[in-house]
Amino acid sequence: MAVHSRTDGVGGGKSAFRFLKERKDTLRRMARYLLQYRGLLLLALFMAAAGNGLALAGPLLSGYAIDAVEPGMGQVNLEKVFFYAGWMVVFYVVSALLSYGLSALMITISRKVVRQMRRDVFDRMLALPVGYFDRHQTGELLSRISYDIDVVNESMSSDLIQMLTTVITVVGALSMMILISPSLVLVFCFTVPLSVCITRYITGKTRPLFRARSAALGKLNGFVEEKVTGQKTIKAYCGEEKVMEAFAAGNKEAVKAYYKAEYYGSTVGPMVNFINNLSLSLISVFGAFLYLSGYMRVGQISSFVLYSRKFSGPINELANIVSDLQSAVAAAERVFGVLDELPEEQAKEGDRKKRGSSKEIFHGRVEFSHVEFGYEPEHMILKDFSFEAKPGEMIAVVGPTGAGKTTLINLLMRFYDPQSGEIKTDGRESRTIPKKQLRRAYAMVLQDTWLFCGTVYENLAYGRENVTREEVVAAAKAAQIHSFIMQLPDGYDTVLREDGANISKGQKQLLTIGRAMLLDCSMVILDEATSNVDTRTEIQIQNAMMGLMKGKTCFVIAHRLSTIRNADRILVVDEGRMAEQGSHEELMKQQGIYYRMQCSTYTALH
């Protein structure tokens, strides 16, 4: 096993063993995953001990067979030779079968562990707050749930076997060599420390190079993901050449980092082999002197040489295995970093009792009282923001881009909580309401539509349990999408590709509106809900929305001011503050910001 295969993410100044000692908590957590399968681990330990024990008997039997030949006499005891050779064949065949079984067993264990670990990480990701995903790139999170867990898997399926066999082989081979010739064992007092020192020196120098390689590859992966996602925009702006040049530069940097890490890391193998060959030469020379002095037989020298190969090889590989384990531990730390993130809601015991099994009923009264919020504490988006929405009212929110309209929605849904002030729902401080209950009280249609790979029916019914097909069809008709669905190859059973790539944006918007119509809720959020449809379809959707919004508190964000003329109250947000509020007629009379927005819209249209 080469040291350079997976040695990344670790600083270069520390020794491998010191690094693992400092990460004992991570190792303990990895062990807890493994110990869920104690029975299989005990079986693996038995197979490793039995397989390596039988393999260690081979050199001893080989020496006995060689001693059946009398040097200089020309006499060979063929019966002894065949006897020992036969047992060698039996031992090696059984050892090979046990080794194969051990590998298959460890792969099975690691697969079970990785499946559980990947499930735990994915479940935790679903429980994390929206702010966590705003702070971390999608590619980075995908890397943790795929690449990092795969590194852990590879380590568990191969490195653990290597460590088991290494310990058993080294201890067994050393014991046999001491029994054969304690004096020859002194050769390793020189070669083993030399090998360990050289290995530690080289790996210490190359470890930062592997870290740089991982960083360069991660940067390149993020670049590729971003550009593949934005293919249409790149082509629309004829930016292919610039993107290709940028990719070539990033690719060159990644290849350079990869080459340097692999080049310098590959020096470990030749150096270790040189020291192993040096030890073999020394054993041969001193063994010859002992033979001439009558202290050893030829068979004993042969057995000792074979045991020396079994001893020096694994003991030098152990440093490589530990280096690979460093990579696995570093990957596990990134995985556990996700698992250690606090979930979105740490419910108090009182909240759990209040939650019960029944759905809480909301009437739709929402109050903002002196709310201040910023995604970054030093940069506030909403400042001293206050308003009240009564049950059944339609509240429209308008304002220039960046004024804080979408932030208002984020706070209503408790994707974020304000730094100061209060948000109340039906008189209760929203932070005291379990988030799932609060969000079930809202139906939300966003400008950025989201559809998953599944049938039209599954996408419409998403978010509501035990919905009937008749209810889904009724919602589709209300959203003016039923006739389009029936024109699809399989109607409601037509499979949509990822993010609805095989239908238009307007049709995706209509599907998300139909999905919202199925929800039994008291409040509705429409964030540019008609932005992706034409004017004629927009009128149809507005008529359908009247049924959806009837008797419900509605929050509507719209750039098309014509869509919110009938709102009960219009909130004009400017630079995070409540600049104006009132009905359309009241705001037009004030001739303020809203009046100027209407005038500019009229001028643009005419």
Over the stretch 397-421, which tens digit does the pLDDT of each residue have?
988 877 788 888 889 888 888 989 9
Assign 200 to helix, strand or coil: helix
Confidence of residue 423 (pLDDT cuts 50, 70, 90): very high
Q: Please tell me the pTM assigned to this model.
A: 0.65
Over the stretch 80-136, which tens digit does the pLDDT of each residue have?
888 888 898 999 999 899 989 988 888 888 888 888 888 888 888 888 877 777 777
Separation of CA 45 from chain center: 31
Return the structure tokens found at 333. 């730390």
* H or E segment and range at residue 493: none
pLDDT for the residue numbered 264? 75
Q: Please tell me the distance from the alpha carbon of residue 502 to that of residue 500, in angstroms, as a whole number.
A: 5
Task: Give helix 78-127 / helix 24-34 axis angle, nearest 10°.
Answer: 100
Task: Give helix 535-549 / helix 505-517 axis angle, nearest 10°.
Answer: 10
Which residues, including other chains, have CB under 8 Å from residue 201's CB and lie 6 or more apart? none
Distant-in-sequence contacts of 466-473, Cβ < 8 A, 24+ apart = 467/518, 471/518, 472/514, 472/518
Q: Is the pLDDT of residue 164 over 80?
A: no
| Structural domains for the chain | 16-339 (1.20.1560.10), 366-605 (3.40.50.300)
Phi first, then psi, for residue 178 (nearest 5°) are -65, -40
pLDDT for the residue numbered 357? 40
Which residues, including other chains, have CB under 8 Å from residue 97's CB and lie 6 or more apart? none
Q: Please tell me the distance from the alpha carbon of residue 359 to that of residue 280, in angstroms, as a whole number.
A: 77
Q: Please tell me the distance from the alpha carbon of residue 360 to that of residue 572, in angstroms, as a whole number.
A: 32
What is the residue whose two structure tokens read 């009247």? 546
Return the structure tokens found at 568. 């009960």
Average pLDDT taken over every residue of the chain: 78
Work out the average pLDDT over 234-253: 83
pLDDT for the residue numbered 18? 59
- Among candidate residues 516, 519, 570, the one with its CA nearest the CA of residue 545: 516
Return the structure tokens found at 582. 């009132």
pLDDT for the residue numbered 367? 92
Over the stretch 320-349, which tens digit does the pLDDT of each residue have?
676 677 777 778 888 888 888 877 665 343
Over the stretch 70-94, which tens digit does the pLDDT of each residue have?
665 557 777 888 888 889 899 999 9
Cβ neighbours, 10 Å, residue 560: 13
Q: Please tell me the distance from the alpha carbon of residue 40 to that of residue 175, in angstroms, as a whole number.
A: 28
Work out the average pLDDT over 163-187: 83
Rg, C-alpha atoms of the chain: 35
Q: Please tell me the distance from the alpha carbon of residue 416 to that of residue 265, in angstroms, as a whole number.
A: 47
Q: Is the pLDDT of residue 19 over 70?
A: no
pLDDT for the residue numbered 73? 57
Work out the average pLDDT over 552-561: 80
Separation of CA 559 from chain center: 37
- Among candidate residues 386, 387, 361, the one with its CA nearest the CA of residue 372: 386
- Given a contact cutoff of 8 angstroms between Cβ atoms, the answer to whether 591 and 425 are in contact is no
pLDDT for the residue numbered 200? 74
Return the structure tokens found at 459. 């996408």
Task: Report percent pLDDT > 70 for the chain.
Answer: 83
pLDDT for the residue numbered 93? 93
Separation of CA 506 from chain center: 33
Phi first, then psi, for residue 433 (nearest 5°) are -100, 130
Q: Which of 239-253, 447-461, 565-579 has the lowest mean pLDDT?
A: 447-461
Q: Is the pLDDT of residue 496 over 80?
A: yes
